[in-house]
Structure 1
């Protein structure tokens, strides 16, 4: 089982426990199970799957059954209570597979503590709906991104990066050293949703991108706002992790999103029409 499958299975277990808590009604327990789930999401979107896999490999067989000393000393609002809840669940469940899921989740929170990420994960849990999708790096040109992907021993995966103002998915497979970049239409889809009922009036107007960027340094968007540059509407997006803004021209983003949807629809149609693959038995 790959680390992606291991974490996905543990996340499904956490989801089932959240559903059970939701049915019973205890708000604190629901919140802690959500925190566990978002902790897994954070590790995934920041490309730390293989780092966590190495952490798991370094644990004693059958562990962990106690919390990290770092986590015990933390003043975070959720990390320690969530781990205490998981330890109680570990004692409660009897099925070996369930116990393994709980151990993975405890190890996940310990990993976050031991790598100094408690504050960042708790901020992600509380505020991530107010942030742009996380990108772990930004490059001016695709050539720079491809060089980084090639030269980095183990690049973050799966994770978004920015090339200019565009999102790309960074992929790396440890098993066969496969590496790749694929364009993703993250902001184009968001712009289509945000402008479905029109662009709100009153957007600040600037004569140049440089002027807009200087203004955004003093008025950071949370996570986005519309601006006008040389008469054209842009969506300005704040990337808290990278401490920068990207600027997305609305008209061309909407056009790119429509083209991307047509491409996806064509691919789905071709797959549906393809003859079934016969079993050569």
Structure 2
């Protein structure tokens, strides 16, 4: 089974177990299954899917999944709780397909521990609302990003990157070595929602972008703040992991987002009519 298919099956297994725990009033399990989903999201958003596939291939077959010594040695209480939950789910799974999904999730936690990312995933989960949508790299121009993608033997995939002030999704297929970059409209819904709440009348105002960027270095957005540059409103987005801000012109971003939704809606209507 391809790794993406295995992760989709594992996600469905986790969702079904969460639903059963919710219906049966098992509060501890209901709390922990969403944590499992966050581990899966972390691997996906940081472009580590193929690294995880390689990790799985290197594991010897065993009748029952093991717990990583790195996890055993860690003091991460939540990961220990999650692992106990997953081992219980493995033991209770009624068929081989569900047991395999439990194995994938168990080894996902082991992979995070063995690659010393327990603190990183805890930070990701606990501070998601304090961070902008995760981007792993920034480039000033599209050609620079293309050169980066082509120059890597195995790029992180899928992974969001920034080109200038815009989000893109970089992708790579191990199966056929295809790769590419396409525009990702992940920040535009944030801009639309925040603008709909109302832009504060007393936003910091600057004559030039350079002045705004200089001010933001000492007054970082947390993670979003409106500023005015030459009379135009921008949403400043703080990318804490990249130690930089992007600046998104509100008016044009909203126009672009509405056009994107219109095109997507038309395509879905056309597909539904076929």
Fold shared by both chains (TM-score > 0.5): yes
Asked if 1:17 is matched to 2:17, the reply is yes
Match of 1:279 in 2: none
Higher mean Cα deviation, 58-67 or 186-195? 58-67
Check 1:30–1:240 CA distance in 2 against 1; reply closer, same or farther (3 A cut). Answer: farther
Instruction: Give the aligned CA root-mean-square deviation in angstroms.
Output: 1.7
Structure 1 residues 45-89: Cα deviation after superposition (integer angstroms, max 9, x where no partner): 111110000000001124662211111122223111111221222
Q: SS state of the match for residue 172, structure 2?
A: strand
Q: 5 Å matches for 1:226-265?
A: 226-265=226-265
Structure 1 residues 75-125: Cα deviation after superposition (integer angstroms, max 9, x where no partner): 223111111221222223242111111111010000001111111111222
Check 1:165–1:174 CA distance in 2 against 1; reply closer, same or farther (3 A cut). Answer: same
Q: Give the alignment's TM-score, normalised by structure 2.
A: 0.94
- Matched pairs, number: 274
Higher mean Cα deviation, 99-108 or 206-215? 206-215
Structure 1 residues 109-158: Cα deviation after superposition (integer angstroms, max 9, x where no partner): 00001111111111222221332111111100000000111111111111
Higher mean Cα deviation, 251-260 or 59-68? 59-68
Match of 1:184 in 2: 184
The Cα shift of 1:269 comes to 4.1
Structure 1 residues 188-218: Cα deviation after superposition (integer angstroms, max 9, x where no partner): 2221122124313322222222222222222
Match of 1:278 in 2: none
Q: Give the alignment's TM-score, normalised by structure 1.
A: 0.91
Equivalent-residue separation in structure 2 for 1:269 and 1:227 (angstroms): 38
Check 1:266–1:86 CA distance in 2 against 1; reply closer, same or farther (3 A cut). Answer: closer
Check 1:272–1:66 CA distance in 2 against 1; reply closer, same or farther (3 A cut). Answer: closer
Match of 1:101 in 2: 101
Structure 1 residues 158-177: Cα deviation after superposition (integer angstroms, max 9, x where no partner): 11111001011111100001
Equivalent-residue separation in structure 2 for 1:143 and 1:186 (angstroms): 21
Higher mean Cα deviation, 92-101 or 152-161? 92-101
Structure 1 residues 244-281: Cα deviation after superposition (integer angstroms, max 9, x where no partner): 1111010111121122223223333443455xxxxxxx
Equivalent-residue separation in structure 2 for 1:130 and 1:198 (angstroms): 20
Q: Is the 8 A contact 1:63 1:103 kept in 2?
A: no
Equivalent-residue separation in structure 1 for 2:210 and 2:75 (angstroms): 41
Q: 5 Å matches for 1:1-281?
A: 1-62=1-62, 65-272=65-272, 274=274
Higher mean Cα deviation, 74-83 or 169-178? 74-83
Q: SS state of the match for residue 241, structure 1?
A: coil
The Cα shift of 1:232 comes to 1.2
Match of 1:277 in 2: none
Gaps of 5+ in 2: none
Q: SS state of the match for residue 77, structure 2?
A: coil
Q: Is the 8 A contact 1:208 1:229 kept in 2?
A: yes
Q: SS state of the match for residue 90, structure 1?
A: helix
